[in-house]
């Protein structure tokens, strides 16, 4: 099974990013924020932007200041369990997809609140999402690949880098064609 990337690992990565970009860590910034005493998150984000702190580091400092969302403090297993709690018949499909990418060198999975990202050593190459009560979608980052056959256009799946999807209603749908598309997306994004 691929390594399950946790939010703690992402948090640590963003800590390092903040230090690289600003020369100061979370503790130093938290002290500055406490002194500035912004009234709310929008005020904090504006204050940070004025000091060149945007993106993930700003998000992290907002969480440090106003509290972390529940989905960030949950374990990866808790997040996945919650995604399939009301659709247990779909969980074996998720498990089969994750098992299928276990042979991809350096592949990791990252559980999010509503889906799981499939991550190559370079970047996210796909997602797995229980989109309906009867279907799991495997969204893939396949730039420049036209939809054909079972490979469909992805609309509102994951984020805007996920361009194609495969609809799976049973473990049997995870056949050679689907595995081929997943492998192609991994290779294109590694």
Task: Kindly state whether residues 14 and 80 are assigned to the same domain.
Answer: no
139 & 57 share domain: no
Burial of residue 142, with CB atoms counted within 10 A of its CB: 0-12 exposed, 13-18 middle, 19 or more buried: buried
> Do residue 53 and residue 88 come from a single domain?
no
Q: What is the pLDDT of residue 137?
A: 97
* Positions of the chain with pLDDT under 50: none
52 and 91 part of one domain: no
- 47 and 85 housed in the same domain: no
DSSP at 112: -
For position 4, what pLDDT does the model report? 67
- Burial class from Cβ neighbours inside 10 Å (0-12, 13-18, 19+) for residue 44 reads buried
In this prediction, residue 8 carries a pLDDT of 73
> Which residues span the domain enclosing 9?
3-72
In the chain, the number of structural domains is: 2
CATH number at residue 111: 3.90.1150
Angle at 59 between CA 54 and CA 64, to 5 degrees: 125
Of 41, 72, 103, which residue is a domain's last?
72
Residues 65 and 107 in one domain: no
Percent of the chain exceeding pLDDT 90 equals 76
Q: What is the distance between the alpha carbons of residues 190 and 184, in angstroms, rounded to a whole number?
A: 10
Q: What is the pLDDT of residue 1?
A: 57
The whole-angstrom distance between residue 79's C-alpha and the CA centroid of its chain comes to: 12
Taking only the tens place, the pLDDT of each residue in 67-112 is: 988 777 888 889 999 999 999 999 999 999 999 998 899 998 988 8
Identify the pLDDT of residue 49.
96
| Cβ contact 152:164 at 8 Å | yes
What's the predicted TM-score (pTM) here? 0.76
């Amino acid at each position: 099974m691929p390594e399950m990337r946790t939010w703690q690992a992402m948090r640590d990565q963003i800590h390092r990013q903040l230090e690289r970009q600003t020369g100061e860590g979370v503790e130093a910034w938290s002290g500055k924020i406490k002194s500035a005493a912004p009234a709310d998150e929008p005020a904090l984000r504006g204050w940070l932007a004025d000091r060149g702190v945007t993106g993930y580091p700003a998000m992290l400092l907002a969480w440090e200041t106003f509290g972390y969302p529940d989905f960030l403090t949950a374990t990866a297993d808790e997040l996945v369990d919650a995604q399939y709690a009301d659709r247990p018949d779909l969980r074996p499909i998720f498990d089969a997809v994750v098992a299928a990418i276990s042979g991809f060198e350096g592949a990791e999975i990252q559980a999010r609140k509503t889906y799981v990202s499939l991550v190559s050593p370079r970047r996210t190459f796909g997602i797995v999402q229980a989109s309906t009560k009867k279907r799991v979608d495997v969204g893939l980052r396949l730039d420049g690949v036209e939809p054909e056959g079972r490979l469909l256009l992805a609309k509102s799946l994951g984020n805007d880098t996920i361009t194609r999807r495969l609809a799976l209603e049973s473990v049997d749908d995870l056949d050679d064609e689907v595995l081929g598309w997943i492998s192609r997306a991994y290779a294109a994004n590694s």
